Amino acid sequence: MSAAQRPLTAMIDPVTGPPDCTAYERGGGWQATRKALGTLSPADVTDIVTRSKLRGRGGAGFGTGQKWSFVPKEPASERRKYLIANADEMEPGTFKDRWLMEGNPLQLVEGMILAAYAVQAGHGIIFLRGEYHLACQRLEHAIGQARQLGWLGPNILGSAFSFDIHVHSSAGRYICGEETALLTTLEGRRATPRSKPPFPQTGGLWGAPSVVNNVETLCNLPPIIANGAEWFAALGLGDDGGTKIYGASGRVARPGAWELPMGTPLRQIIEEHAGGMRPGYRLRALLPGGASTAFLDASALDVAMDYASVEKAGSRLGTGMAIVLDDQTCPIGMIRNLEHFFAQESCGWCTPCRDGLPWVERLLDAIEEGTGTQEDMDQLGRHARMLGAPGRTFCAHAPGAMAPLASGLKLFADDFADHIAQCRCPQRHAA
C-alpha cells in the first residue's frame, strides 16, 4: 500500500522515531488545521467527518460525527467543554493505539485540535494507560513542541479558537476504558461507570459537555479534513470508510499490527500479514477483536473485517486485534485466563458482575484442574446467559466478559466434556 493509502501510519518510522513538527508538516501535517480554522466552520468539520463514514475505533463503532452532533453548539469561549482522547488501552491482545502514540504523537495532537474545534471544546485531555511510559514521554514532547510553535494555546493561527492539551496517566484499571468511568476517574473518584442519561456529550466531566474519542479515531481526522470525506470513504472495501489498524497475536509467524483497508478479509490478515501459523501449529479459533469478543472458528476466515460482517458471523469487530487460538493450546485454559482478567478488573459496583465473574473463574478453575462436574457446566451456561444479556448489569463489562465464555461453551463443547470425563486437562496431561 502507498503512503496515501496508509493515512494513519505513513509517517511512522521505527528507525528514525516520531517526526518533529517540521518533519510532520513536511509530510502533510497541519494542513487540516489550517484548512479547518481558516475556511471551515465547526459544523462544516462535523459534516465532513459524518460523510466520511468514520466510526469509533475503540470497539463500539458509533458514528464519530453523529456523536459530536449531540454536543451543545456554544463557542468554546462561552462554555466550558472537554475533548478527551481515550488512550487507556487495556483490552487484552490490543496494542494499536500504543503504536500510533509512540510512532507519531503529533497526528493525535492535530486530531484532537480538529475534534475540539468541531465541538468547540477549549480543554483537551489524553487519558493514557499508566504503563505506557514511552508514549507518555513522546506525547509530552509533542505537545510541548506544538504549544511552542502556536498550534496549541490561545487564538490558534490567529483565530478566535483556543485549545490546549495535557496528559493524564491512569491508575491502570480496565474499567477506565468505559467512557463514563474514565470521566469519574478524572474527577478524582473511584472508577465506576455512571448512569446514562445524562450522556457525556451534554453532562460529562465536572458536569460540562464532554466528548470521549479513541486514539485511532482521532488520528483519522487530519487526513479526512485535508483530503475530504469522499476520499476517506473510498479507502474502505465495503460500507465502512477508511483504513483500520488490524493485528494478530498468538502462535502466528509474525505477530503484529498493520494498517489495511476497512473490510480486509480475516484470512488475508492472518495468512498474508501475520504469516500464517508457526510450523507445527494449526489455527483452531480466534477472538477477532480482542478479549471481549466471541470466538470464531477457522471456517470464518473469509469474513470481511468490518462491523456488519463480523457481527453477522457471530462476533464483534471490537478493536480489530485478533487473538489466535492454536490446536495445541487448551481452550478451557485460555477462557479461564480471560475470565480471571475480567473478574479482577470488575469495578465491583453491581452485584452480578462483582460476584458473578469470580464465580465463573472458580468454575473454570475446577474444570481445568479436573474436579469439575456437569453441574458446573450448567452453572457456567446460566452465568453466560444472565451476565451476557444487556441491561442486567450496570455497564458492558460483564457482557463483554461473557462473549468468549458463551461462544466457547458451544465451540469447545467436546473439550469441556473431555475435561469432566477424564478428570483432567487432556492437553496439559499429554504435554
pLDDT in tens, 125-142: 999 999 999 999 999 999
pLDDT at 370 > cutoff 60:
yes
* Alpha-carbon gap, residue 84 to 121, rounded angstroms: 10
DSSP code of residue 95: -
Residue type, 323: I
Cα separations in angstroms, 257 against 63, 246, 247, 307, 318: 24, 6, 4, 18, 15
- As a whole number, the mean pLDDT across the chain is 94
pLDDT in tens, 273-328: 999 999 999 999 999 999 999 999 999 999 999 999 999 999 999 999 999 999 99
- Domains in the chain: ranges and CATH: 3-235 (3.40.50.11540), 243-326 (3.10.20.600), 331-430 (1.20.1440.230)
What are the residues whose beta carbons fall under 8 Å from the beta carbon of 68, sequence distance 6 or more? 46, 49, 115, 118, 119, 201, 211
pLDDT in tens, 27-40: 999 999 999 999 99
Residue 146, classed as helix, strand or coil, is: helix
What are the residues whose beta carbons fall under 8 Å from the beta carbon of 96, sequence distance 6 or more? 57, 89, 216, 245, 247, 257, 319, 320, 321
Q: What is the reported pTM?
A: 0.95
Q: Given this model, what pLDDT does residue 431 score?
A: 54
**What is the average pLDDT across 396-421?**
96
* Alpha-carbon gap, residue 127 to 212, rounded angstroms: 10
pLDDT at 4 > cutoff 80:
no
Residue type, 185: T
Cα separations in angstroms, 364 against 236, 290, 379, 411, 416: 40, 20, 10, 16, 10
345 and 353 in contact (C-beta within 8 Å)?
Answer: no
Per-residue pLDDT band at 238 (split at 50, 70, 90): confident
DSSP code of residue 278: P
